[in-house]
Amino acid sequence: MKKYVSVVVLIVIVAISIIFWWRYYFVFGEGVKAGNLNFFVKKGYIFKTYEGRLIQTGFKTPVPGALQSNEFEFSVTNDSIASILERCSGKAVELRYKEYLHPITWRGMSNYVVFEILSIDGSSAKKSLPLSYK
């Protein structure tokens, strides 16, 4: 009976671990977004995380006849990328990001986590600084 219980407990622990990984660490997709950096802040009650918003050109309308700007809210986990983005408010930036299924409080409040800056104001960021973090 003890062997049966230990096998069931092991299976439950493995299943919970797989579900946790799938929900919070599985990279659903990667992409690039470009636009004007509206704001970039460090905030949080216990876990201080970097959060930003990118305003993209164009308008999307979920309701016909209405106007709504395209906003891309993201988190940053790398301090060197965060220090560069803090100085780029209002500038046109191009960012590479990973999309997760759900946010984790210590990684940020968004499903989108930026890990590389491709360009700032049209100039390539890779020429001046190594900004990628994987």
For residue range 15-53, what is the model confidence (pLDDT) as tens digits? 999 999 999 999 999 999 999 999 999 998 899 999 999
Higher-confidence residue: 105 or 126?
105
- H or E segment at 113? strand 112-120
Give the pLDDT band (50/70/90) at residue 134: very low
Query: Is 96 inside any structural domain?
Result: yes
Closest CA to 73 of 125, 47, 107, 108: 108
CATH of the domain at 39: 2.40.50
Q: Does the structure show a pLDDT above 60 at 127?
A: no
Give the pLDDT band (50/70/90) at residue 122: low
Give the pLDDT band (50/70/90) at residue 133: very low
Average pLDDT over residues 101-113: 91
**Residue 56: strand pairing partners:** 70
Query: Is 6 inside any structural domain?
Result: no
Say what the pLDDT of residue 13 is: 96
Burial of 85 (0-12, 13-18, 19+ CB in 10 A): buried
Q: Which amino acid is at 80?
A: S
Q: What is the CA radius of gyration of the chain?
A: 19
Query: Is 121 inside any structural domain?
Result: yes
Query: Is 37 inside any structural domain?
Result: yes
Could you give the CA distance from residue 40 to residue 91 in angstroms, rounded to a whole number?
Answer: 12
Q: The pTM is what?
A: 0.76
> What is the span of the domain harbouring residue 84?
28-127
Query: Is 116 inside any structural domain?
Result: yes
Average pLDDT over residues 99-123: 90
Query: Is 67 inside any structural domain?
Result: yes
Query: Is 4 inside any structural domain?
Result: no
Three-class DSSP category at 85: helix
Could you give the CA distance from residue 102 to residue 121 in angstroms, rounded to a whole number?
Answer: 31
Say what the pLDDT of residue 60 is: 60
Q: Does the structure show a pLDDT above 80 at 79?
A: yes
Query: Is 68 inside any structural domain?
Result: yes
How many structural domains does the chain have?
A: 1
